[in-house]
Amino acid sequence: MNNSYQEVHPTVEVSTFGNPKSVKHWLLNLLIYITPIVGFVFLIIWAIGTMGTGEIKKNFARAHLVVYGIIFAFLLVVVISGVIYIVFTGQDPL
């Protein structure tokens, strides 16, 4: 009888994100992110992936830019609707 035994090793998934960042690193990133104009510029830089941006930070920035785009589009529709209403009804907005 041929009793062949094959060892089965579970595959270990290795993260492609590199080393995890410290809490200090994320607090500094959040401080940059909440700064009004600088934060938006850094979101664009992080989304593009320059300056050695990691995959997690790149996806974070891209997701926030998508949310900002949705909010901007909604506000634009509201403002245009208001202007059209004022023009066609002839009412004073205030």
Q: Which two tokens stand for residue 2?
A: 């041929």
Give the count of domains, the chain. Answer: 1
Tell me whether residue 34 is in a domain.
yes
Domain assignment of residue 14, yes or no: no
Residue 57, domain member (yes or no): yes
Q: 77 is in which domain, residue-wise?
A: 23-89
Q: How far is CA 41 from CA 3, 28, 48, 55, in A?
A: 65, 15, 11, 18
Confidence band, pLDDT 50/70/90 cuts, at residue 6: low
Instruction: With respect to residue 41, please indicate whether it lies within any of the assigned structural domains.
Output: yes
Quickly tell me which residue has 């209403």 as its tokens: 85
- CB 33, CB 42: distance < 8 Å: yes
Question: Is residue 46 in a domain?
Answer: yes
In a domain, 16, yes or no: no
Position 37 in a domain: yes
DSSP state of 16: S
Q: Tell me the per-residue pLDDT of 18-72, one tens digit each, with 9 for 90 and over.
A: 667 788 988 998 898 889 899 999 999 989 987 777 888 889 899 999 999 999 9
User: Over the stretch 16-25, which tens digit does the pLDDT of each residue have?
Assistant: 556 677 889 8
pLDDT given at position 4: 64
